[in-house]
A and B are shown apart, each in its own frame.
Chain A
Amino acid sequence: MQASSIDIVWNGRASRMRRRRLVIGSLLTLVVLLFALTLMLGQTFTPPGEVLRVLFGEEVQGASFTVGQLRLPRAVLAVLTGLSFGLGGAAFQIMLRNPLASPDIIGINLGASAAAVFAIVVLQMNGPAVSVFAVVAALGVAMAIYGLSFRDGVAGTRLILIGIGVAAMLESFIAYTLSRAPAWSLQEAMRWLAGSLNGTQTSQTLPLLVALFLFGGLLLSRARDLDTLRLGDDTAAALGTNVAATRIIVMIAAVGVIAVATAVAGPVSFVAFLAGSIAARLVGGNGSILLPAALLGAVLVMLADYAGQFLLPSRYPVGVVTGALGAPYLIYLIIRVNRSGGSL
């Protein structure tokens, strides 16, 4: 064996690792930076020293309320929901080998929010019970979509279209449920349905943290096997991956983490879709996109929420900002995929 070819291999891998570390490192830094920024900047500017003191539990005149009660819970939830959506979205896109097969497009987010709306409005449920309900419903929707699109295997475009059909039905269902609940004004409902971090409390952080830990951990543990699925079911099986088991585990974990995040913040449009697709472009073929997508999701949610609150001419909930960003990107992606001759 020539020494040069093993060097080529080693160098190639080293440079891929470097690029991957660079991407993840930058994203992590960005997350921390944005977190710090959102704690400091708002209607008023709180200097970093005071922020730190509040974080350590001190009572600081003027800052304790703003930072401790208003900004901190919101920032934490922004990060957690962003991580959840990014993770879940990427998992689906990898598993279904298609950036458009994102849970927010194929109706899984809607399944969770339909359940959440139903639980809150009709069943008068609250707190973690809503999240559990949402998870179960979202899983049901996911299985229904998968089952409906199964015909000698799953074809990408068919699954996406069926998912969109299911999404349309779920939207009808949500509209119907809301029509029976005059207490919620239509505009308020629209805000929640677009995805909003308004009025979030620390009580909601814990279930999300648990879900992220549990489901996210499950996903990351399967990252390698999940990645082989990108080569096609047959090749993945030939490489020793248990395709069916991996699919089921990944689906449950991804749906789980997304459903809980949706129950807390509403279905924040397009975060799952954007995080997954952009992460895939940044990382290229170099290893699993799960972690980068999760971090990117956190970045997106924090940025969008901050922009929606302070940087735009009027107050927008985070979901509307991400929706406005995701819309052109979605079209751009279809153009790109069609042009490159890829069959979806």
Chain B
Amino acid sequence: MTTGAEGMRLLWLATVIAGLTLLLGLSVAVGTRSVGWSDVVAALGGASGTIDQAAVTVRIPRTLLAGAAGAALGLAGAIMQGVTRNPLADPGILGVNLGASLAVVVGVAWFGITSSQAFIWVAILGAGVTAVFVYTIGSLGRGGATPLKLALAGVATSIAFASLVVAIILPRADIAGGIQSWRIGGVGGATFGAIGEVTPFLVGGVLLALLSARRLNSLALGDEIATGLGERVALARATAALSAILLCGATTAVCGPIGFVGLVVPHLCRLLVGVDHRWLLPFAALAGACLLLAADVMGRIIARPNELEVGVVTAFIGAPFFIWIVRRQRVREL
């Protein structure tokens, strides 16, 4: 029943929003350093006199970044799964994140790029080139771009690029300080400035994504049917892919490669709100924000007094999920 389903969706939406609010608060209040409530409240009010208050102040941009990045990645994952009709699609698995990362590393190491604006553009370029590359390789041969072949092309590219990143960075003591962040992404060290730089790109990506929602619904029925329904398939694909690339590229430029969020979130959301992209996309964004915030909080708690990058936590949660989906794929699809 439509009203029943609508009702359920609204209920889930409310739940997710509530969860998000809770996590936002948690992210500010909890961290590698235990802080009392009075300090938290004071810091939120703008005070940063004591160390504890300063610690909380630092957490605010971090929280915002985690939320924004999570939303971007969740959304990008949902779009990728829609465009490629591949339940295994995810910016990490398809190598797009590492492509962005490699591009930035090359830019910094060989071309001496320093401005964060340039970082973002280079990352987006890397993401785009990698997406095309992986899709081309995965489509070669019998059967075209089947889910397993595409995933395999993507992970092989990821692995290859990861080696190259290490090879380029390792001897560079000058940039090696940030060495780990180019292999596994994290939201530590976030600043309002960085967030400001990346916001226009994220907003652009989100808008483009939401506009593509209806098109993704048609694409889900298959290229032939979509064309029959009057959809311009190539254009729809291109705009949707572009939004995903903008979102991934910008996020990776600031945070480094964070994987598995784009894989897990859309699947869970589909279970809750169904496959209509007009609901799925916004939901994926909100749920993605929740997931990343939760992962970041976890990363700060379990590795006290150090912190674990968010990319490490998402990999640990997401990988079993990935394995589970792979197991369910019918091999005959090859």
Contact = CB atoms under 8 A, between A and B. Distances in A.
A339 B313 CA distance: 36
Interface string A143-186: 00000110100010110111011101101110110011010001
Contacts of A313: 171
Interface string A307-319: 0000001111100
Contact of A182 (B167, B306, B329): B306
Contacts of A155: 331
Given A151-B327, A162-B323, A191-B170, A105 B152 contact: no
Contacts, number: 147
Contacts of B309: 175
Interface residues of A, number: 55
Contact of A175 (B161, B166, B184, B327): B184
B97 interface: no
Interface of chain B, main secondary structure = helix
User: For chain B, which range describes its interface: under 10, 10 to 19, 20 to 34, or 35 or more residues?
Assistant: 35 or more
B156 interface: yes
B193 to A, nearest CB: 25
B149 A157 contact: yes
Interface stretch (A198-206, A215-223, A329-337): A329-337
B156 A169 contact: no
A161 B155 contact: yes
Contacts of B166: 190, 194, 320, 323
Contact of A149 (B142, B167, B176, B327): B327
Interface in A274-308: none
A270 interface: yes
B15 interface: no
B160 A158 contact: no
A320 B170 contact: yes
Nearest to A340: B141
Contacts of A157: 148-149, 152, 331, 334
A2 interface: no
Given A315-B171, A320-B170, A341 B142 contact: yes
A344 interface: yes
A334 B322 CA distance: 21
B159 interface: yes
A169 B155 contact: no
| Residue from the set A172, A314, A317 with the largest chain B CB neighbour count within 10 Å | A172
B308 A175 contact: yes
Nearest to A324: B167
A326 interface: yes
| Residue from the set B157, B184, B302, B327 with the largest chain A CB neighbour count within 10 Å | B327
Contacts of B273: none
Interface in B182-200: 184
Nearest to A182: B306
Nearest to A331: B160
B159 to A, nearest CB: 7
Interface string A216-238: 00000000000000000000000
A169 B303 CA distance: 17
Contacts of A344: 149, 152, 334
Interface in B66-105: 88
B284 to A, nearest CB: 21
Contact of A165 (B138, B153, B322): B322
Contacts of B176: 187
A342 interface: yes
| Residue from the set B176, B323, B334 with the largest chain A CB neighbour count within 10 Å | B323
Contact of B319 (A158, A172, A187, A326): A172
28 contacts: A148-B323, A149-B327, A155-B331, A157-B149, A158-B327, A161-B151, A161-B152, A165-B320, A165-B323, A171-B315, A173-B316, A175-B309, A176-B303, A176-B308, A186-B179, A186-B180, A321-B167, A323-B167, A324-B163, A326-B163, A327-B159, A327-B160, A330-B156, A334-B137, A335-B137, A338-B138, A338-B140, A343-B142
